[in-house]
A and B are shown apart, each in its own frame.
Chain A
Amino acid sequence: MRSTRTFGFHLLAGGLSVLWLLPILLVLTTSVRSFSDIASNGLGALPASFTLDGFGQAWGEGGGGHAMLNSLLVTIPTVLLALLLSSAAAFALSRYEIPFRRTIILVMLAGNLLPPQILLVPVAKLAELLGIYDTLTALIVVQVGFGLGFYTFVLQGFMRSIPGEIQQAALIDGAGVAQIFWRIILPMTRPALAALGALAFTWTFNDLLWSITVLRTGTVMPVTPALLGLQGQYVSNWNVIAAGSVIAAVPTVAVFLRFQKHFISGLAIGAIK
Protein backbone atom coordinates (compact mmCIF):
# COMPACT_ATOMS: atom_id res chain seq x y z
CA MET A 1 0.00 0.00 0.00
CA ARG A 2 2.67 2.42 1.06
CA SER A 3 5.02 1.56 -1.79
CA THR A 4 2.22 1.91 -4.34
CA ARG A 5 1.52 5.38 -3.02
CA THR A 6 5.18 6.34 -3.16
CA PHE A 7 5.33 5.00 -6.68
CA GLY A 8 2.23 6.96 -7.61
CA PHE A 9 3.73 10.13 -6.16
CA HIS A 10 6.94 9.77 -8.11
CA LEU A 11 5.04 8.92 -11.28
CA LEU A 12 2.87 12.03 -10.97
CA ALA A 13 5.55 14.45 -9.77
CA GLY A 14 8.16 12.98 -12.12
CA GLY A 15 5.76 13.13 -15.06
CA LEU A 16 4.95 16.77 -14.36
CA SER A 17 8.63 17.64 -13.99
CA VAL A 18 9.44 16.04 -17.32
CA LEU A 19 6.53 17.87 -18.93
CA TRP A 20 7.85 21.13 -17.48
CA LEU A 21 11.42 20.52 -18.60
CA LEU A 22 10.54 19.31 -22.12
CA PRO A 23 10.13 22.79 -23.63
CA ILE A 24 13.54 23.74 -22.26
CA LEU A 25 15.10 20.59 -23.66
CA LEU A 26 13.43 21.25 -26.97
CA VAL A 27 14.74 24.78 -27.27
CA LEU A 28 18.22 23.56 -26.34
CA THR A 29 18.18 20.89 -29.04
CA THR A 30 16.72 23.31 -31.59
CA SER A 31 19.48 25.82 -30.84
CA VAL A 32 22.23 23.37 -31.80
CA ARG A 33 20.63 22.12 -35.04
CA SER A 34 21.70 23.44 -38.41
CA PHE A 35 19.41 25.56 -40.53
CA SER A 36 19.34 23.02 -43.34
CA ASP A 37 18.46 20.22 -40.93
CA ILE A 38 15.45 22.19 -39.67
CA ALA A 39 14.46 23.28 -43.17
CA SER A 40 14.54 19.81 -44.66
CA ASN A 41 13.40 17.63 -41.73
CA GLY A 42 11.02 20.06 -40.04
CA LEU A 43 11.14 21.82 -36.70
CA GLY A 44 9.50 18.96 -34.84
CA ALA A 45 11.84 16.27 -36.16
CA LEU A 46 14.55 14.61 -34.11
CA PRO A 47 17.83 16.51 -34.48
CA ALA A 48 20.14 15.20 -37.21
CA SER A 49 22.87 17.77 -36.85
CA PHE A 50 24.98 19.50 -34.22
CA THR A 51 26.39 22.97 -34.74
CA LEU A 52 26.91 26.12 -32.72
CA ASP A 53 26.23 28.30 -35.79
CA GLY A 54 22.92 29.42 -34.30
CA PHE A 55 24.71 30.77 -31.24
CA GLY A 56 27.34 32.43 -33.39
CA GLN A 57 24.71 34.18 -35.48
CA ALA A 58 22.53 35.19 -32.52
CA TRP A 59 25.54 36.54 -30.62
CA GLY A 60 27.31 38.24 -33.54
CA GLU A 61 25.21 39.37 -36.53
CA GLY A 62 22.01 39.12 -34.52
CA GLY A 63 23.43 41.63 -32.01
CA GLY A 64 23.06 39.37 -28.98
CA GLY A 65 26.49 40.22 -27.62
CA HIS A 66 25.86 43.92 -27.88
CA ALA A 67 22.40 43.55 -26.36
CA MET A 68 23.86 41.57 -23.47
CA LEU A 69 26.26 44.42 -22.76
CA ASN A 70 23.33 46.87 -22.79
CA SER A 71 21.41 44.60 -20.43
CA LEU A 72 24.23 44.48 -17.92
CA LEU A 73 24.79 48.23 -18.23
CA VAL A 74 21.15 48.72 -17.28
CA THR A 75 20.56 45.91 -14.82
CA ILE A 76 23.55 46.30 -12.52
CA PRO A 77 23.19 50.06 -11.87
CA THR A 78 19.42 49.67 -11.56
CA VAL A 79 19.68 46.97 -8.91
CA LEU A 80 22.42 48.77 -6.94
CA LEU A 81 20.70 52.16 -7.04
CA ALA A 82 17.27 50.79 -6.25
CA LEU A 83 18.53 48.77 -3.29
CA LEU A 84 20.65 51.63 -1.97
CA LEU A 85 17.81 54.15 -2.09
CA SER A 86 15.18 51.78 -0.81
CA SER A 87 17.31 50.52 2.07
CA ALA A 88 18.03 54.11 3.12
CA ALA A 89 14.32 54.87 3.09
CA ALA A 90 13.50 51.59 4.82
CA PHE A 91 16.14 52.28 7.49
CA ALA A 92 14.77 55.72 8.31
CA LEU A 93 11.15 54.58 8.20
CA SER A 94 11.62 51.44 10.25
CA ARG A 95 14.15 52.57 12.88
CA TYR A 96 13.05 56.15 13.62
CA GLU A 97 9.86 57.91 14.54
CA ILE A 98 9.39 59.70 11.25
CA PRO A 99 6.01 61.49 11.20
CA PHE A 100 3.47 59.75 8.92
CA ARG A 101 5.90 56.91 8.39
CA ARG A 102 3.22 54.30 7.90
CA THR A 103 1.46 56.45 5.33
CA ILE A 104 4.74 57.07 3.51
CA ILE A 105 5.46 53.34 3.32
CA LEU A 106 2.01 52.56 1.99
CA VAL A 107 2.07 55.39 -0.54
CA MET A 108 5.43 54.18 -1.82
CA LEU A 109 4.13 50.63 -2.12
CA ALA A 110 0.98 51.84 -3.86
CA GLY A 111 3.18 53.46 -6.52
CA ASN A 112 4.71 50.10 -7.32
CA LEU A 113 1.32 48.45 -7.57
CA LEU A 114 0.05 50.93 -10.16
CA PRO A 115 -0.44 49.30 -13.54
CA PRO A 116 2.53 50.53 -15.59
CA GLN A 117 0.22 51.35 -18.51
CA ILE A 118 -0.95 54.53 -16.85
CA LEU A 119 2.67 55.70 -16.72
CA LEU A 120 3.87 54.73 -20.21
CA VAL A 121 2.86 57.79 -22.22
CA PRO A 122 3.87 60.40 -19.61
CA VAL A 123 7.15 58.60 -18.84
CA ALA A 124 8.08 58.50 -22.53
CA LYS A 125 7.29 62.22 -22.83
CA LEU A 126 9.16 63.03 -19.61
CA ALA A 127 12.24 61.22 -20.92
CA GLU A 128 11.98 63.18 -24.18
CA LEU A 129 11.67 66.42 -22.26
CA LEU A 130 14.79 65.67 -20.22
CA GLY A 131 16.68 64.71 -23.38
CA ILE A 132 17.32 61.17 -22.18
CA TYR A 133 14.77 59.40 -24.41
CA ASP A 134 16.35 56.46 -26.23
CA THR A 135 19.24 56.22 -23.75
CA LEU A 136 20.02 53.56 -21.17
CA THR A 137 19.94 56.27 -18.48
CA ALA A 138 16.22 56.69 -19.03
CA LEU A 139 15.65 52.98 -18.62
CA ILE A 140 17.69 52.91 -15.41
CA VAL A 141 15.94 55.83 -13.71
CA VAL A 142 12.48 54.62 -14.70
CA GLN A 143 13.07 51.15 -13.35
CA VAL A 144 14.66 52.46 -10.15
CA GLY A 145 11.69 54.78 -9.60
CA PHE A 146 9.11 52.11 -10.27
CA GLY A 147 10.80 49.43 -8.14
CA LEU A 148 11.52 51.57 -5.08
CA GLY A 149 8.13 51.19 -3.44
CA PHE A 150 8.17 47.42 -3.28
CA TYR A 151 11.81 47.16 -2.21
CA THR A 152 11.30 49.73 0.53
CA PHE A 153 8.23 47.90 1.78
CA VAL A 154 10.02 44.56 2.01
CA LEU A 155 13.21 45.98 3.53
CA GLN A 156 11.46 48.01 6.21
CA GLY A 157 9.57 44.89 7.27
CA PHE A 158 12.87 43.07 7.62
CA MET A 159 14.70 45.94 9.36
CA ARG A 160 11.92 46.32 11.90
CA SER A 161 12.70 42.85 13.21
CA ILE A 162 16.31 43.79 14.07
CA PRO A 163 16.51 44.26 17.86
CA GLY A 164 16.78 47.87 19.03
CA GLU A 165 19.54 47.22 21.61
CA ILE A 166 22.20 46.98 18.92
CA GLN A 167 21.32 50.36 17.58
CA GLN A 168 21.19 51.88 21.07
CA ALA A 169 24.63 50.54 21.87
CA ALA A 170 25.97 52.19 18.74
CA LEU A 171 24.20 55.40 19.64
CA ILE A 172 25.89 55.38 23.04
CA ASP A 173 29.23 54.87 21.32
CA GLY A 174 28.52 58.11 19.49
CA ALA A 175 27.71 56.71 16.07
CA GLY A 176 25.79 59.03 13.74
CA VAL A 177 22.73 58.11 11.73
CA ALA A 178 24.74 57.38 8.59
CA GLN A 179 27.17 55.18 10.50
CA ILE A 180 24.41 53.22 12.17
CA PHE A 181 22.85 52.66 8.77
CA TRP A 182 26.01 51.70 6.92
CA ARG A 183 27.94 49.84 9.62
CA ILE A 184 25.21 48.18 11.64
CA ILE A 185 21.77 47.89 10.09
CA LEU A 186 22.79 47.35 6.46
CA PRO A 187 25.12 44.42 7.22
CA MET A 188 22.37 42.82 9.28
CA THR A 189 19.94 43.20 6.39
CA ARG A 190 22.12 41.14 4.07
CA PRO A 191 19.83 38.13 3.70
CA ALA A 192 16.93 40.35 2.64
CA LEU A 193 19.21 42.37 0.37
CA ALA A 194 20.48 39.20 -1.30
CA ALA A 195 16.95 37.96 -1.86
CA LEU A 196 15.72 41.27 -3.22
CA GLY A 197 18.89 41.73 -5.25
CA ALA A 198 18.40 38.40 -6.99
CA LEU A 199 14.74 39.19 -7.64
CA ALA A 200 15.45 42.73 -8.82
CA PHE A 201 18.14 41.45 -11.17
CA THR A 202 15.70 39.01 -12.76
CA TRP A 203 12.88 41.54 -13.03
CA THR A 204 15.08 44.25 -14.49
CA PHE A 205 16.88 41.91 -16.86
CA ASN A 206 13.61 40.35 -18.06
CA ASP A 207 11.80 43.64 -18.56
CA LEU A 208 10.23 44.31 -21.93
CA LEU A 209 7.63 47.03 -21.40
CA TRP A 210 9.83 49.83 -20.03
CA SER A 211 12.52 49.14 -22.60
CA ILE A 212 10.22 49.47 -25.59
CA THR A 213 8.64 52.53 -24.00
CA VAL A 214 11.75 54.66 -23.48
CA LEU A 215 14.03 53.15 -26.14
CA ARG A 216 13.64 53.15 -29.90
CA THR A 217 16.97 52.41 -31.59
CA GLY A 218 17.94 48.76 -32.02
CA THR A 219 21.52 49.29 -30.87
CA VAL A 220 20.57 50.45 -27.38
CA MET A 221 18.07 47.65 -26.73
CA PRO A 222 18.81 45.20 -23.88
CA VAL A 223 18.54 41.46 -24.42
CA THR A 224 14.83 40.96 -23.73
CA PRO A 225 13.47 43.45 -26.30
CA ALA A 226 16.35 42.57 -28.63
CA LEU A 227 15.01 39.01 -28.75
CA LEU A 228 11.88 40.32 -30.42
CA GLY A 229 14.06 42.08 -32.98
CA LEU A 230 16.00 38.88 -33.53
CA GLN A 231 12.76 37.11 -34.27
CA GLY A 232 11.91 39.66 -36.94
CA GLN A 233 15.39 39.53 -38.41
CA TYR A 234 15.68 35.75 -38.58
CA VAL A 235 12.04 34.78 -39.38
CA SER A 236 12.03 30.97 -39.60
CA ASN A 237 15.73 30.55 -38.74
CA TRP A 238 14.55 28.73 -35.67
CA ASN A 239 18.02 27.60 -34.64
CA VAL A 240 19.12 31.25 -34.33
CA ILE A 241 15.95 32.25 -32.48
CA ALA A 242 16.27 29.30 -30.10
CA ALA A 243 19.94 30.12 -29.50
CA GLY A 244 18.96 33.71 -28.76
CA SER A 245 16.42 32.59 -26.15
CA VAL A 246 19.04 30.37 -24.53
CA ILE A 247 21.52 33.25 -24.40
CA ALA A 248 18.85 35.52 -22.91
CA ALA A 249 18.06 32.98 -20.20
CA VAL A 250 21.65 32.29 -19.11
CA PRO A 251 22.20 35.31 -16.80
CA THR A 252 18.96 34.91 -14.87
CA VAL A 253 19.43 31.17 -14.55
CA ALA A 254 22.97 31.82 -13.26
CA VAL A 255 21.70 34.32 -10.69
CA PHE A 256 18.97 31.90 -9.68
CA LEU A 257 21.39 29.01 -9.21
CA ARG A 258 23.84 31.17 -7.27
CA PHE A 259 21.20 32.69 -4.98
CA GLN A 260 18.71 29.84 -5.08
CA LYS A 261 17.89 29.85 -1.39
CA HIS A 262 17.64 33.63 -1.18
CA PHE A 263 15.66 33.76 -4.39
CA ILE A 264 12.94 31.42 -3.20
CA SER A 265 12.77 33.01 0.24
CA GLY A 266 12.58 36.38 -1.49
CA LEU A 267 9.56 35.30 -3.48
CA ALA A 268 8.03 33.96 -0.31
CA ILE A 269 8.73 37.13 1.71
CA GLY A 270 5.52 38.68 0.53
CA ALA A 271 3.58 35.57 1.42
CA ILE A 272 4.73 35.23 4.99
CA LYS A 273 5.13 38.85 5.97
Chain B
Amino acid sequence: MAVLTAERPKTAARAPKRRRRISPVLLAFVLVPLVVEGFWVFWPALQGFYLALTNWDGVSAPTFVGLGNFAEMFSDDIFKTAALDTVLWLVLFGGLSAVGGLALATLLQRERRGVGFYRAALFTPVVFSLVATSLIWQVIYQPDGVFNKVLGAIGLGSWQHAWLADPKTALYAVLVPALWRQLGYVMVLYLAGLKGIDPALYEAAKLDGATAWQQFRNVTWPQLRSVNSVVLSVIIIDSLRSFDVVWSMTKGGPYHSSELLSTYMYATAFQSLRLGYASALAVVIFVLAFGVIVTYLVRAFREDS
Protein backbone atom coordinates (compact mmCIF):
# COMPACT_ATOMS: atom_id res chain seq x y z
CA MET B 1 0.00 0.00 0.00
CA ALA B 2 2.77 2.36 0.99
CA VAL B 3 4.57 1.57 -2.22
CA LEU B 4 1.48 2.35 -4.23
CA THR B 5 0.94 5.75 -2.64
CA ALA B 6 4.57 6.55 -3.12
CA GLU B 7 4.33 5.69 -6.80
CA ARG B 8 1.29 7.76 -7.53
CA PRO B 9 2.81 11.23 -7.77
CA LYS B 10 5.57 9.80 -9.92
CA THR B 11 3.18 8.51 -12.57
CA ALA B 12 1.25 11.72 -12.47
CA ALA B 13 4.43 13.56 -13.21
CA ARG B 14 5.26 11.18 -15.99
CA ALA B 15 1.98 11.56 -17.84
CA PRO B 16 2.60 15.03 -19.28
CA LYS B 17 6.05 13.95 -20.41
CA ARG B 18 4.47 11.15 -22.43
CA ARG B 19 2.20 13.68 -24.03
CA ARG B 20 5.01 15.80 -25.34
CA ARG B 21 6.81 13.17 -27.40
CA ILE B 22 5.02 10.34 -29.16
CA SER B 23 7.13 7.23 -29.37
CA PRO B 24 7.98 6.07 -32.91
CA VAL B 25 6.21 2.76 -32.27
CA LEU B 26 3.03 4.59 -31.45
CA LEU B 27 3.42 6.74 -34.52
CA ALA B 28 3.77 3.64 -36.68
CA PHE B 29 0.68 2.14 -35.03
CA VAL B 30 -1.37 5.05 -36.30
CA LEU B 31 0.41 5.85 -39.54
CA VAL B 32 0.64 2.38 -41.10
CA PRO B 33 -3.13 1.74 -41.04
CA LEU B 34 -3.77 5.34 -42.05
CA VAL B 35 -1.44 5.04 -45.05
CA VAL B 36 -3.01 1.71 -46.10
CA GLU B 37 -6.48 3.21 -45.94
CA GLY B 38 -5.30 6.39 -47.58
CA PHE B 39 -3.72 4.52 -50.46
CA TRP B 40 -6.62 2.13 -51.14
CA VAL B 41 -9.58 4.31 -50.16
CA PHE B 42 -8.96 8.06 -50.00
CA TRP B 43 -6.59 8.34 -52.93
CA PRO B 44 -8.87 6.26 -55.24
CA ALA B 45 -11.88 8.25 -54.02
CA LEU B 46 -10.22 11.52 -55.05
CA GLN B 47 -9.38 10.01 -58.42
CA GLY B 48 -12.99 8.89 -58.74
CA PHE B 49 -14.22 12.44 -58.30
CA TYR B 50 -11.76 13.68 -60.88
CA LEU B 51 -12.64 10.92 -63.37
CA ALA B 52 -16.30 11.93 -63.11
CA LEU B 53 -15.31 15.10 -64.96
CA THR B 54 -13.68 13.20 -67.83
CA ASN B 55 -14.35 10.90 -70.72
CA TRP B 56 -12.20 7.81 -70.42
CA ASP B 57 -12.07 4.43 -72.11
CA GLY B 58 -9.39 3.15 -69.75
CA VAL B 59 -6.78 2.90 -72.51
CA SER B 60 -5.98 6.36 -73.86
CA ALA B 61 -5.60 9.36 -71.56
CA PRO B 62 -8.82 10.71 -70.00
CA THR B 63 -10.15 13.91 -71.62
CA PHE B 64 -11.58 16.59 -69.37
CA VAL B 65 -15.24 17.38 -70.11
CA GLY B 66 -16.23 19.36 -67.02
CA LEU B 67 -19.78 18.63 -65.97
CA GLY B 68 -20.60 17.03 -69.33
CA ASN B 69 -21.22 13.61 -67.81
CA PHE B 70 -23.76 15.03 -65.39
CA ALA B 71 -25.50 16.90 -68.18
CA GLU B 72 -25.73 13.67 -70.14
CA MET B 73 -27.65 12.01 -67.31
CA PHE B 74 -30.62 14.29 -67.94
CA SER B 75 -31.16 12.77 -71.35
CA ASP B 76 -30.26 9.22 -70.30
CA ASP B 77 -33.42 7.16 -69.90
CA ILE B 78 -31.60 4.26 -68.26
CA PHE B 79 -30.21 6.66 -65.69
CA LYS B 80 -33.71 7.90 -64.94
CA THR B 81 -35.00 4.35 -64.50
CA ALA B 82 -32.03 3.45 -62.32
CA ALA B 83 -32.39 6.57 -60.18
CA LEU B 84 -36.12 5.99 -59.70
CA ASP B 85 -35.57 2.32 -58.91
CA THR B 86 -32.86 3.26 -56.41
CA VAL B 87 -35.21 5.63 -54.61
CA LEU B 88 -37.99 3.02 -54.72
CA TRP B 89 -35.55 0.44 -53.41
CA LEU B 90 -34.45 2.78 -50.63
CA VAL B 91 -38.03 3.36 -49.55
CA LEU B 92 -39.25 -0.22 -49.84
CA PHE B 93 -36.14 -2.09 -48.74
CA GLY B 94 -35.33 0.46 -46.06
CA GLY B 95 -38.86 1.04 -44.83
CA LEU B 96 -39.93 -2.58 -44.78
CA SER B 97 -36.77 -3.84 -43.12
CA ALA B 98 -36.95 -1.15 -40.43
CA VAL B 99 -40.64 -1.67 -39.68
CA GLY B 100 -40.41 -5.45 -40.03
CA GLY B 101 -37.21 -5.69 -37.98
CA LEU B 102 -38.73 -3.64 -35.16
CA ALA B 103 -41.93 -5.70 -35.26
CA LEU B 104 -39.95 -8.94 -35.08
CA ALA B 105 -37.80 -7.62 -32.25
CA THR B 106 -40.86 -6.55 -30.27
CA LEU B 107 -42.45 -9.94 -30.87
CA LEU B 108 -39.35 -11.87 -29.79
CA GLN B 109 -38.19 -9.47 -27.10
CA ARG B 110 -39.26 -11.36 -24.00
CA GLU B 111 -37.22 -14.40 -22.93
CA ARG B 112 -39.63 -17.31 -23.04
CA ARG B 113 -39.73 -20.86 -24.24
CA GLY B 114 -38.82 -21.25 -27.91
CA VAL B 115 -37.75 -17.66 -28.40
CA GLY B 116 -34.11 -18.63 -28.98
CA PHE B 117 -35.12 -20.92 -31.82
CA TYR B 118 -37.36 -18.31 -33.44
CA ARG B 119 -34.63 -15.68 -33.29
CA ALA B 120 -32.08 -18.09 -34.74
CA ALA B 121 -34.45 -19.07 -37.56
CA LEU B 122 -35.04 -15.46 -38.56
CA PHE B 123 -31.38 -14.64 -38.24
CA THR B 124 -29.94 -17.56 -40.23
CA PRO B 125 -30.16 -15.95 -43.71
CA VAL B 126 -28.00 -13.04 -42.51
CA VAL B 127 -24.89 -15.20 -42.71
CA PHE B 128 -25.49 -16.22 -46.34
CA SER B 129 -23.90 -14.20 -49.09
CA LEU B 130 -26.32 -12.21 -51.21
CA VAL B 131 -25.22 -14.29 -54.18
CA ALA B 132 -26.13 -17.55 -52.44
CA THR B 133 -29.37 -15.92 -51.31
CA SER B 134 -30.25 -14.93 -54.83
CA LEU B 135 -29.55 -18.44 -56.16
CA ILE B 136 -31.77 -19.92 -53.46
CA TRP B 137 -34.57 -17.62 -54.53
CA GLN B 138 -34.03 -18.22 -58.21
CA VAL B 139 -34.80 -21.86 -57.54
CA ILE B 140 -38.07 -20.71 -55.98
CA TYR B 141 -38.94 -18.24 -58.76
CA GLN B 142 -38.38 -20.54 -61.74
CA PRO B 143 -41.49 -20.96 -63.93
CA ASP B 144 -41.73 -24.59 -62.77
CA GLY B 145 -40.58 -23.69 -59.25
CA VAL B 146 -42.21 -23.91 -55.86
CA PHE B 147 -43.73 -20.44 -55.85
CA ASN B 148 -45.79 -20.99 -59.00
CA LYS B 149 -46.62 -24.50 -57.82
CA VAL B 150 -48.05 -23.14 -54.56
CA LEU B 151 -50.03 -20.48 -56.42
CA GLY B 152 -51.49 -23.20 -58.61
CA ALA B 153 -52.31 -25.37 -55.63
CA ILE B 154 -54.24 -22.63 -53.83
CA GLY B 155 -56.26 -21.74 -56.92
CA LEU B 156 -54.28 -18.70 -57.99
CA GLY B 157 -53.00 -20.40 -61.12
CA SER B 158 -53.71 -17.28 -63.15
CA TRP B 159 -51.07 -15.43 -61.11
CA GLN B 160 -48.34 -17.82 -62.18
CA HIS B 161 -45.51 -15.92 -63.68
CA ALA B 162 -41.91 -15.87 -64.84
CA TRP B 163 -41.22 -13.51 -61.94
CA LEU B 164 -37.69 -12.49 -62.83
CA ALA B 165 -38.26 -12.30 -66.59
CA ASP B 166 -41.19 -9.87 -66.47
CA PRO B 167 -40.15 -6.19 -66.35
CA LYS B 168 -43.20 -5.45 -64.20
CA THR B 169 -42.26 -7.84 -61.40
CA ALA B 170 -38.47 -8.21 -61.62
CA LEU B 171 -37.57 -5.46 -59.13
CA TYR B 172 -40.04 -6.70 -56.53
CA ALA B 173 -38.95 -10.29 -57.07
CA VAL B 174 -35.40 -9.19 -56.23
CA LEU B 175 -36.59 -7.18 -53.23
CA VAL B 176 -38.06 -10.20 -51.44
CA PRO B 177 -34.77 -12.13 -51.02
CA ALA B 178 -33.01 -8.94 -50.01
CA LEU B 179 -35.60 -8.43 -47.27
CA TRP B 180 -35.50 -12.09 -46.28
CA ARG B 181 -31.82 -11.60 -45.50
CA GLN B 182 -31.96 -8.07 -44.02
CA LEU B 183 -34.86 -8.44 -41.58
CA GLY B 184 -32.99 -10.70 -39.19
CA TYR B 185 -30.11 -8.25 -39.09
CA VAL B 186 -32.32 -5.28 -38.25
CA MET B 187 -34.15 -7.44 -35.71
CA VAL B 188 -30.87 -8.11 -33.88
CA LEU B 189 -30.05 -4.40 -33.80
CA TYR B 190 -33.46 -3.62 -32.32
CA LEU B 191 -33.27 -6.53 -29.87
CA ALA B 192 -30.05 -5.04 -28.53
CA GLY B 193 -31.75 -1.66 -28.26
CA LEU B 194 -34.83 -3.06 -26.50
CA LYS B 195 -32.64 -4.91 -24.04
CA GLY B 196 -31.10 -1.60 -23.00
CA ILE B 197 -34.41 -0.10 -21.90
CA ASP B 198 -34.86 0.11 -18.15
CA PRO B 199 -37.73 -2.25 -17.14
CA ALA B 200 -38.72 0.25 -14.42
CA LEU B 201 -40.03 2.53 -17.17
CA TYR B 202 -42.53 -0.14 -18.20
CA GLU B 203 -43.49 -0.78 -14.59
CA ALA B 204 -44.24 2.91 -14.16
CA ALA B 205 -46.21 3.02 -17.41
CA LYS B 206 -48.25 -0.02 -16.34
CA LEU B 207 -48.99 1.58 -12.99
CA ASP B 208 -50.30 4.58 -14.87
CA GLY B 209 -52.58 2.22 -16.79
CA ALA B 210 -50.88 2.61 -20.16
CA THR B 211 -52.07 0.26 -22.91
CA ALA B 212 -49.60 -1.84 -24.89
CA TRP B 213 -49.68 0.69 -27.72
CA GLN B 214 -49.19 3.62 -25.35
CA GLN B 215 -46.24 1.82 -23.77
CA PHE B 216 -44.71 1.36 -27.18
CA ARG B 217 -45.43 4.91 -28.27
CA ASN B 218 -44.31 6.66 -25.09
CA VAL B 219 -41.66 4.37 -23.63
CA THR B 220 -40.18 2.06 -26.26
CA TRP B 221 -40.04 4.41 -29.23
CA PRO B 222 -38.36 7.39 -27.51
CA GLN B 223 -35.89 5.04 -25.82
CA LEU B 224 -34.93 3.55 -29.18
CA ARG B 225 -33.83 6.87 -30.60
CA SER B 226 -30.13 6.11 -30.77
CA VAL B 227 -30.74 2.64 -32.21
CA ASN B 228 -33.05 4.16 -34.79
CA SER B 229 -30.35 6.39 -36.14
CA VAL B 230 -27.97 3.45 -36.41
CA VAL B 231 -30.61 1.35 -38.14
CA LEU B 232 -31.37 4.21 -40.49
CA SER B 233 -27.73 4.61 -41.43
CA VAL B 234 -27.19 0.86 -41.84
CA ILE B 235 -30.27 0.54 -44.00
CA ILE B 236 -29.55 3.45 -46.29
CA ILE B 237 -25.94 2.42 -46.73
CA ASP B 238 -26.96 -1.20 -47.33
CA SER B 239 -29.63 -0.30 -49.81
CA LEU B 240 -27.29 1.92 -51.77
CA ARG B 241 -24.92 -1.03 -51.74
CA SER B 242 -27.58 -3.53 -52.82
CA PHE B 243 -25.54 -4.38 -55.84
CA ASP B 244 -24.91 -8.08 -55.24
CA VAL B 245 -28.47 -9.30 -55.08
CA VAL B 246 -29.64 -7.44 -58.18
CA TRP B 247 -26.53 -8.29 -60.14
CA SER B 248 -26.78 -11.98 -59.44
CA MET B 249 -30.52 -12.27 -60.05
CA THR B 250 -31.24 -10.03 -63.04
CA LYS B 251 -28.11 -8.00 -63.85
CA GLY B 252 -30.52 -5.05 -63.80
CA GLY B 253 -32.77 -6.48 -66.49
CA PRO B 254 -35.03 -7.32 -68.19
CA TYR B 255 -34.84 -4.08 -70.20
CA HIS B 256 -33.25 -2.29 -67.20
CA SER B 257 -36.48 -2.75 -65.24
CA SER B 258 -34.61 -3.74 -62.08
CA GLU B 259 -31.65 -1.45 -62.71
CA LEU B 260 -30.24 0.32 -59.67
CA LEU B 261 -27.65 3.08 -59.82
CA SER B 262 -25.08 0.64 -58.44
CA THR B 263 -25.66 -1.99 -61.14
CA TYR B 264 -25.86 0.62 -63.88
CA MET B 265 -22.60 2.12 -62.66
CA TYR B 266 -20.85 -1.26 -62.69
CA ALA B 267 -22.13 -2.16 -66.16
CA THR B 268 -21.17 1.25 -67.52
CA ALA B 269 -17.66 0.94 -66.12
CA PHE B 270 -16.71 -2.65 -66.74
CA GLN B 271 -18.95 -3.68 -69.64
CA SER B 272 -19.39 -0.50 -71.69
CA LEU B 273 -15.94 0.72 -70.55
CA ARG B 274 -17.23 4.28 -70.20
CA LEU B 275 -15.16 4.92 -67.11
CA GLY B 276 -15.77 8.67 -66.92
CA TYR B 277 -19.56 8.41 -67.10
CA ALA B 278 -19.49 5.52 -64.64
CA SER B 279 -17.50 7.64 -62.20
CA ALA B 280 -20.09 10.39 -62.54
CA LEU B 281 -22.80 7.84 -61.68
CA ALA B 282 -20.72 6.85 -58.66
CA VAL B 283 -20.64 10.49 -57.61
CA VAL B 284 -24.45 10.55 -57.71
CA ILE B 285 -24.51 7.49 -55.43
CA PHE B 286 -22.00 9.22 -53.19
CA VAL B 287 -24.16 12.32 -52.91
CA LEU B 288 -27.14 10.15 -51.95
CA ALA B 289 -25.09 8.36 -49.30
CA PHE B 290 -23.38 11.52 -48.11
CA GLY B 291 -26.37 12.83 -46.21
CA VAL B 292 -26.54 9.63 -44.22
CA ILE B 293 -22.84 9.49 -43.50
CA VAL B 294 -22.84 13.03 -42.21
CA THR B 295 -25.69 12.27 -39.83
CA TYR B 296 -23.89 9.13 -38.70
CA LEU B 297 -20.64 10.98 -38.06
CA VAL B 298 -22.29 13.87 -36.30
CA ARG B 299 -23.91 11.38 -33.98
CA ALA B 300 -20.70 9.44 -33.39
CA PHE B 301 -18.89 12.69 -32.74
CA ARG B 302 -21.45 13.87 -30.25
CA GLU B 303 -21.20 10.61 -28.31
CA ASP B 304 -17.46 10.86 -28.35
CA SER B 305 -17.36 14.11 -26.44
Residues of A near any B CB (own CB < 8 A): 9-10, 12-14, 16-18, 20-21, 23-24, 26-27, 30, 42-45, 85-86, 88-89, 91-93, 96-98, 102, 104-106, 108-126, 141-142, 144-146, 148-149, 152-153, 168, 171-172, 176-178, 181, 202, 205-209, 212-213, 224-225, 227-228, 231, 238, 241-242, 244-245, 248-249, 252-253, 255-256, 264-265, 267-268, 270-273
* Contacts A20-B122, A106-B297, A113-B296 given; does A118 touch B135 at CB 8 Å: no
Docked-complex contact A248 and B139, CB < 8 angstroms: no
Instruction: List 6 A-B pairs, minimum CB-CB distance, nearest first.
Output: A145-B40, A268-B192, A206-B129, A44-B149, A122-B44, A17-B121
| In-complex Cβ contact of A24 among B135, B136, B189, B301 (8 A) | B136
Interface band, chain B:
35 or more
CA distance A56 to B115 in the complex (A): 37
* Contacts A85-B36, A208-B243, A224-B131 given; does A271 touch B26 at CB 8 Å: no
A-B contact pairs, 6 of them (CB 8 A): A26-B140, A106-B301, A114-B293, A144-B36, A231-B248, A248-B131
Q: In the assembled complex, which residues on chain B have CB atoms less than 8 Å from the CB atom of A45?
A: 149
* Contacts A16-B118, A43-B139 given; does A26 touch B146 at CB 8 Å: yes
Docked-complex contact B30 and A89, CB < 8 angstroms: yes
Docked-complex contact A92 and B296, CB < 8 angstroms: no
Docked-complex contact A245 and B136, CB < 8 angstroms: yes
17 new A-B contacts, CB < 8 A, other than A114-B45, A122-B45, A264-B188, are A23-B125, A89-B34, A114-B41, A118-B285, A122-B43, A144-B40, A145-B41, A205-B129, A208-B248, A209-B244, A212-B270, A231-B135, A231-B138, A253-B128, A264-B123, A267-B189, A271-B192
CA distance A106 to B299 in the complex (A): 11
Query: Which chain A residue has the least Cβ–Cβ distance from B228?
Result: A271
Looking at the assembled complex, report how far the CB atom of A106 sits from the nearest CB atom of chain B, in whole angstroms: 6
Q: In the assembled complex, which residues on chain A have CB atoms less than 8 Å from the CB atom of B289?
A: 113-115
CA distance A264 to B67 in the complex (A): 45
Looking at the assembled complex, report how far the CB atom of B266 sits from the nearest CB atom of chain A, in whole angstroms: 7
Query: Which chain B residue has the least Cβ–Cβ distance from A178?
Result: B25
Docked-complex contact A27 and B49, CB < 8 angstroms: no
Q: In the assembled complex, which residues on chain B have CB atoms less than 8 Å from the CB atom of A238?
A: 139, 142
Q: In the assembled complex, which residues on chain A have CB atoms less than 8 Å from the CB atom of B226?
A: 271
B32 adjacent to chain A (CB < 8 Å)? yes
B60 adjacent to chain A (CB < 8 Å)? no
B65 adjacent to chain A (CB < 8 Å)? no
Residues of B near any A CB (own CB < 8 A): 7, 11, 14, 18-19, 22-23, 25-26, 28-30, 32-34, 36-37, 39-45, 47-49, 51, 58, 104, 107-108, 112, 114-115, 117-118, 121-132, 135-140, 142, 144-150, 180, 184-185, 188-193, 196, 226-227, 230-231, 234, 237, 240-241, 243-244, 247-248, 261-262, 265-266, 269-270, 275, 278-279, 281-283, 285-286, 288-289, 292-293, 296-297, 300-301, 303-305
* Contacts A27-B136, A43-B139, A267-B188 given; does A206 touch B130 at CB 8 Å: yes
